[in-house]
Structure 1
């Protein structure tokens, strides 16, 4: 074969010239799979590996093809880049003088040779073409029968090869930067909270969780079975670490052994790369692949179960991967090891975090004893670190729920081994039940607070046990939106179901994503449930990006039957669009975290929140006076004898299996314990009537009854003055005609 036929291949890279590029030690253009683009193709290749290196003016070709074509054929080459066909050329294989091609004979055709490249072809390739990451270029070849008089006979085969330059945006360094920033933001929020700056800590934690959720949303795009352009595939691969998809060589060996030991059959796709090719799905490939799979399975019934659990294998012997399998292959993980990989890293994450908290507790005690730190530094954490640890573990459950729900549900469809299915059931049901129980607990506490104080923030933020253990579910929302964690968990669960159960239909996934993201965007924009304006803007912006990505995903599913050029252009747009937005989010989180650490009082950076949660929070370092409000706050927090045991808002020994649920929902027991000496009691010592506040409502600190139909009674004290004197988050003077802090946040202003 004369390499002048590669001249069109040189031209296709010129169309991909973009300002993004990196230096390469040795420029090259490669192709590692020959994909079938015709269902009744009579020519296939189980191995296809071509490398063009301009520095030595040669191309290395290694092909193992199977042909059922006999006779003279011509090769009709179509070269395209980013969906745009830039060259079409017909080549007669008889000019190559290679055995088996002129005329073509039936059977297996092994071809391994080097071809010299003329200098004219090399000069037509711009240097940036070898450096542009994730080049989207394709060479499609039609094999047409010919009688020697015409080159346009019937097509008997169609194959296509994807061309790459070896450069990609899927970089280890990018993954580390993303993970470190998100991790440090979460750790910083815990440290700031331990130092007593609860307002700043809540904002940092909310931003870090939203950032991590955006990372997981990007990863979910890559897990869909919809065809994604190469640059989008690589970009979403940068976020798969947030789903626990991280390769560790020794772990893969352990997982393979475990699967065999528990009755499974592991896939060995990476062990066969030297003899077979792996086709990463392209436009329209999944439907063709499934047709090939069905024909192959019907001829080999015993192999059906293995191919269902592992990767689809064509009749020629090559593999086809798409969706979740594509992500696993690009991460270097066997498909049958993917579930155990995600599960193991989630468990390690939880274990390392728990050990770190315990170690930090030990260090604090040692430092206080050795006078390295002040005796009251991290005092609340040191006194109630077990409750704080429980809250942290609950928060990790919420963070890891998207990854575990997807992997567990997907494992139900794969059945890698009976033991792995049992693990999937245990973790999925356990985590779902845990989050559901925690959400119901928050709702019960908030309703009790509304019944007693007409404000959900009162007990949610005044009780340190409730705040430290359950606060991860509601602290990022305004007090009146304490319930919003239920829509968040439901959103995650439904999205996970579409990803796990609809791997065979990219269109169904794209439509499902569009509906889910549209509902999420509308709900976030209308309800605006987060704690303040800036946090709402931050999260609504993420919802907008997720909705736009869902629209692009629907376009990639080809439901509009658009030309390939549209997909190529949109692929570049979605990459730059999401990369810029991710950079902005990172900079915002980094800047916010740094500012918090350099300020003497970081709480002053944030506006005092409308629900007045800080007025209810326990802070011994800030409430040091002997005012009536301090006494009221201490009573609400249970600091006075008899209040906490009587109210019993949160019991650390309480569990899902206990009778606490019955006691909390039994109306006859809501007022079972006396709340104060002035509370009217029945003959048996129980309350008569609904639950009441532990403080006499005649105390002037409570708002007066509304006058003249005005639902916003004036506050009996100057709230701004109180905060300036007793709170670390002053918000400026407030008029005496503003709404009472006992009503703000309870839904009166929304």
Structure 2
């Protein structure tokens, strides 16, 4: 069943609650002109077309070069969301509407301004059309010779209402709330509320991961409607893609000084146009494919595909850089520097918090046991924070480093990409190996992974979000990140391949998470599975955008609106959940009581020294490990940790007889926690 344009706009009216835009002036305007025909005899360096509902004419200003000789007619076709609004033929030699310089058209430079009638075509456009952000509308004009009817040129212009869903406020709000969740978790952990801190940290990291997945959609070399391009641009900050003028000048200098050739796209805008490609290169019509032969052959070396008419075309990662106003040869270094600025800022913040705590204790503004775990083991905690930040930035650096391998912007940048990609991969791989090695040697993973504060603080970022028996799930998570990043970085000019690969990757991730349910509790599993469902749906939407099945052009446009509305609503829900969770835990006297204890009994092993006296701590350690040795007397080596678990059952029974009251209390506590979880 064919949808009408009115039905499309009706859907937009229903979804207007998530589109906070009010039209001050009703206007449709285009400032770009793209060629849509092989060997077009018409190329424009300046094009401006304005349509307003106040009159029935369109005002056009063109500065162009043409090789057409003779009388011509314009075959004009206006479309919005793939639906044809009107199709008309205009004769510039018509006695009622003569166009200066176009009757007849002669070879040479053309500088003209004229109006042409639209009759009653605009009556079919509802008023909301002029309020829609990132309108997916275009006008296509064929220039045909009057004598033969042959088409000698074709130009296409995209329209805009001047409104967009890409908003600076959205970028700041999402970044602040994601940071708020991580900060709240850190504060609760320092206060000793490990259970509440773990839940907040997991939700905040999952939210950040969802933002990264939204940004990755924009990095694909796939056709996307304007509203999807603008929406995904709101989350590029999570990939470190942030434009700062003075930093860009430094990056350009660094690249040039290390043997590279910086791109000069933005300095060329006065003499060349930039086309934001709406299709992946594997779906370019054959009529204009020859224009990209030279550009595609140099794709692996340079950042922009240059067309034979002097203009540029950008897509995928290049499109994101262009929309962010970053030269594409600076994109890798921009992401790298912002990631490590974030790491450095966090390290300084933790060190400053340590100094403030010690000063407050000395001045007796704080009790001496306040933040005791943090103050005594802050260096170990700092190592854990560094590891956690490495995990957070791994998707970003995987894509940017692998993409830099295809660009070779300069020898120094390639070396940086090699060092940081393999350095982060090696760091996470080593930490994962240590976790697997420790857990495999003992029957109860919770006892070895959660009982030693030093192991927990250094390596807990890999497994604390999972239940103890699913500690291994970090391996498929890292594999998922690497494989996805490879397809994004290496498949820029193969949009269909990217879309199919992403569907396979996301469906595998969805099935594994739904079946295994590896996270720490039911609520966290639901939170992360819901995110994975949306990642899978977005992958399907990307396949629809490629239009590999030859669907009507209206279909990708409608799907783009659905993607925006669905993800905007889902993002709002996730943000509210993180805000509410972060706020409620600080209103309770014991934040840990807001969350049920996990069935793996990790809380029995995670009790800090500030909450238990030495006798209770030693007794719990005896019960868990089966001997009388305390972790406090051990070093950091895994060999010392492993040796604890080699004692005999005789020693275990002897230790339990020495502390019958404590052991009984611990068993009753564990039994009670399990009953709470089951309930």
TM-score (norm 2): 0.90
Aligned position for 1:138: 138
Counterpart selection for 1:698 from 628, 638, 653: 653
Aligned position for 1:707: none
Q: Does 1:608 align with 2:604?
A: no
Aligned position for 1:41: 40
SS of the residue 1:529 aligns to: coil
Aligned position for 1:101: 102
Distance 1:384 1:695 in 2: 34
SS of the residue 1:75 aligns to: strand
With 496-505 and 312-321 compared, the bigger mean Cα shift is at: 312-321
Contact 1:34–1:48 under 8 Å retained in 2: yes
Q: CA deviation at 1:61?
A: 4.2
Q: CA deviation at 1:617?
A: 1.1
Q: Does 1:578 align with 2:579?
A: no
Q: CA deviation at 1:97?
A: 3.6
1:314-393 to 2 correspondences below 5 Å: 314-393=307-386
Gap change, CA 1:277 and 1:464, over 3 Å in 2? same
Contact 2:9–2:126 under 8 Å retained in 1: yes
Aligned position for 2:236: 240
Gap change, CA 1:277 and 1:50, over 3 Å in 2? farther
1:290-689 to 2 correspondences below 5 Å: 308-448=301-441, 450=442, 454-624=443-613, 626=615, 630-633=618-621, 650-651=636-637
Aligned position for 1:705: none
Gap change, CA 1:129 and 1:294, over 3 Å in 2? closer
SS of the residue 1:355 aligns to: helix
Q: CA deviation at 1:492?
A: 0.5
Which ranges in structure 2 are unaligned for 5 or more consecutive residues?
Answer: none
Q: CA deviation at 1:394?
A: 0.5
Superposed CA deviations along residues 508-554 of structure 1, whole A, max 9, x for unmatched, are 10011000001000110111111111111111111111111111111
Distance 2:122 2:292 in 1: 42
SS of the residue 2:237 aligns to: helix
Aligned position for 1:682: none
Superposed CA deviations along residues 614-670 of structure 1, whole A, max 9, x for unmatched, are 00113223323845x742427869997676666x5x34xxxxxxxx8xxx6xxxx99
Contact 1:75–1:143 under 8 Å retained in 2: yes
With 630-639 and 472-481 compared, the bigger mean Cα shift is at: 630-639
Q: Which has more helix, going by share of residues?
A: 2
Distance 2:174 2:650 in 1: 49
Q: CA deviation at 1:122?
A: 8.0
Aligned position for 2:210: 214
Distance 1:60 1:307 in 2: 41
Q: Does 1:67 align with 2:86?
A: no
1:221-232 to 2 correspondences below 5 Å: 221-232=217-228
Distance 2:287 2:126 in 1: 40
Contact 2:618–2:630 under 8 Å retained in 1: no
Contact 1:307–1:313 under 8 Å retained in 2: no
Which ranges in structure 1 are unaligned for 5 or more consecutive residues?
Answer: 1-9, 652-659, 676-689, 703-714, 725-729, 739-750
Q: CA deviation at 1:605?
A: 1.2
Distance 1:335 1:219 in 2: 16
Distance 1:275 1:54 in 2: 32
SS of the residue 1:425 aligns to: helix
SS of the residue 1:561 aligns to: coil
Counterpart selection for 1:271 from 224, 246, 267: 267
Aligned position for 1:86: 85
Contact 1:354–1:389 under 8 Å retained in 2: yes
Contact 2:220–2:495 under 8 Å retained in 1: yes
SS of the residue 1:203 aligns to: helix
Gap change, CA 1:583 and 1:14, over 3 Å in 2? closer
Aligned position for 1:4: none
Distance 2:519 2:110 in 1: 63
Distance 1:12 1:734 in 2: 52
Distance 1:404 1:343 in 2: 7
Contact 1:145–1:155 under 8 Å retained in 2: yes
1:731-746 to 2 correspondences below 5 Å: 731=673
Superposed CA deviations along residues 667-699 of structure 1, whole A, max 9, x for unmatched, are xx998x6x5xxxxxxxxxxxxxx9347982325
Q: CA deviation at 1:126?
A: 5.4
Q: CA deviation at 1:156?
A: 2.8
Superposed CA deviations along residues 314-351 of structure 1, whole A, max 9, x for unmatched, are 22222111101111111111111111111110010001
Q: CA deviation at 1:701?
A: 5.4
Distance 2:570 2:222 in 1: 23
Q: CA deviation at 1:52?
A: 4.7
Aligned position for 1:190: 186
Q: CA deviation at 1:355?
A: 0.3
Gap change, CA 1:376 and 1:135, over 3 Å in 2? same
Q: Does 1:722 align with 2:677?
A: no
Contact 1:61–1:111 under 8 Å retained in 2: no
Distance 2:408 2:380 in 1: 38
Gap change, CA 1:21 and 1:539, over 3 Å in 2? closer
Distance 2:375 2:98 in 1: 82
TM-score (norm 1): 0.81
Q: CA deviation at 1:198?
A: 0.5
The number of residue pairs the alignment matches comes to 664
Contact 2:134–2:227 under 8 Å retained in 1: yes
SS of the residue 1:622 aligns to: coil
Aligned position for 1:178: 174
Distance 2:125 2:89 in 1: 21
Aligned position for 1:3: none
Superposed CA deviations along residues 460-485 of structure 1, whole A, max 9, x for unmatched, are 10000000011100000001111111
Gap change, CA 1:232 and 1:105, over 3 Å in 2? same
Gap change, CA 1:621 and 1:308, over 3 Å in 2? closer
Q: CA deviation at 1:306?
A: 8.8
Gap change, CA 1:636 and 1:717, over 3 Å in 2? closer
Greater C-alpha Rg: 1
Contact 2:361–2:367 under 8 Å retained in 1: yes
SS of the residue 1:138 aligns to: strand
